[in-house]
Amino acid sequence: MPTLPDFEALARLVPSPSYELPPAILSARQHIPPNKLEDTRARLVEWSRASLDQTPRQAYAFARIAAELGRTHAEAEFALLRALNRLGEFRAVVSHAPSTVVQFAASGDIEGAASAWCESAWAYTFIGDLQPALDAIAHARAATSSSLIHARCDWVHARILRDQSHYADALARLEQARERFQADQMHVEVLRC
């Protein structure tokens, strides 16, 4: 029976990015007892979050395995979106984001859905599709009153405004986002602003 350390080792086998998991991973997941499935998936999602800034390829691998453990787990799919964004796989993000939004909404997690919209908006900015990015930002803002989600929206919107040569507006949005991130002691996000 595979244990989480086995999955940690198996994550190194996941090519980045790939939608085909190596046979060793597919085989190992079949041996997880049903009562350990949720805990295993949650651990993999947490490992993905923890490694996102330092080793996005490893974050992708953990998220990919977690998502494979169950097709309806929004947190695993969201971790996959974030890792794909970090790896520059923007088209994959925009194709997967709608289903992640639906999964979060179906479970009643509106902030999760709004966060998925933000990831989608970020990816669209790199593809150069600014209107879908603005639409995703509008969906995220409308879905929740969370100041952190709105700060993330401001950060993405600033990128769009900068690309449109609206530098003063972009700077104002970045300052708003930075203030919110500072208030919540989110130091990495502050540095990104």
Residue 56 located in a structural domain: yes
Determine the pLDDT at residue 128: 94
pLDDT given for residue 18 in this prediction: 60
Distance, CA of 171 to CA of 163 (rounded, Å) = 12
Q: Does 180 reside within a domain?
A: yes
Angle of helix 147-163 relative to helix 130-143, nearest 10 degrees?
A: 160
Residue 15: the pLDDT is 67
Q: Which of 38, 58, 39, 37 is nearest to 47 (CA)?
A: 58
Single out the residue in 30, 55, 87 at which a domain terminates: 87
pLDDT of residue 129: 94
Cβ within 8 Å of residue 92, ≥6 positions away: 17, 84
The answer to whether residues 189 and 122 touch, using CB atoms and an 8 Å cutoff, is no
Residues 82, 133: one domain? Answer: no
Q: Within a domain: residue 94?
A: no
pTM metric for this prediction? 0.78
Same domain, 82 and 125: no
- Spatial distance between the Cα atoms of 119 and 108, rounded to a whole number of angstroms: 19
| Cα 101 to Cα 77: distance, rounded to the nearest angstrom | 10
Domain identity same for 1 and 43 = yes
Residue 117: partners with Cβ closer than 8 Å, 6 or more residues away: 97, 101, 136, 137, 139, 140, 143
Per-block average pLDDT, block size 10, for the chain (193 residues)? 62 69 74 82 89 88 81 83 94 95 94 97 96 97 94 95 95 94 85 76
Q: Are 180 and 151 in contact (CB under 8 A)?
A: yes
In a domain? residue 92: no
Classify residue 182 as left (phi > 0), alpha (psi -120 to 50) or beta.
Answer: alpha
Task: List the alpha helices (DSSP H) in 3-129.
Answer: 4-11, 23-29, 34-51, 56-68, 74-86, 90-106, 110-127
Q: Which domain does 38 fall in, by range?
A: 1-87
Are residues 69 and 25 part of one domain? Answer: yes
| pLDDT at res. 159 | 93
Residue showing tokens 């974050």: 59
> If you count them, how many residues does the chain have?
193
Residue 100 resides in a domain: no
Q: Are residues 2 and 70 in the same domain?
A: yes
pLDDT given at position 125: 96
End-of-domain residue from the set 56, 87, 118: 87
116 CA to centre of own chain: 7
**Quick one: which of 153, 16, 136, 22 has its CA closest to 88?**
16
- The answer to whether residues 16 and 70 belong to one domain is yes
What is the predicted pLDDT for the residue at 71?
A: 53
What is the spatial distance between Cα 94 and Cα 156, in angstroms, rounded to a whole number? 15
Total number of domains constituting the chain: 2
- Is 147 inside a domain boundary? yes
DSSP 17: S
- Is residue 158 domain-shared with residue 189, that is, in the same domain? yes
Encoding tokens for residue 190?
Answer: 């502050």
pLDDT of 139 reads 97
pLDDT at 19: 62
Domain assignment present for residue 93? The answer is: no
The pLDDT value recorded for residue 70 is 65
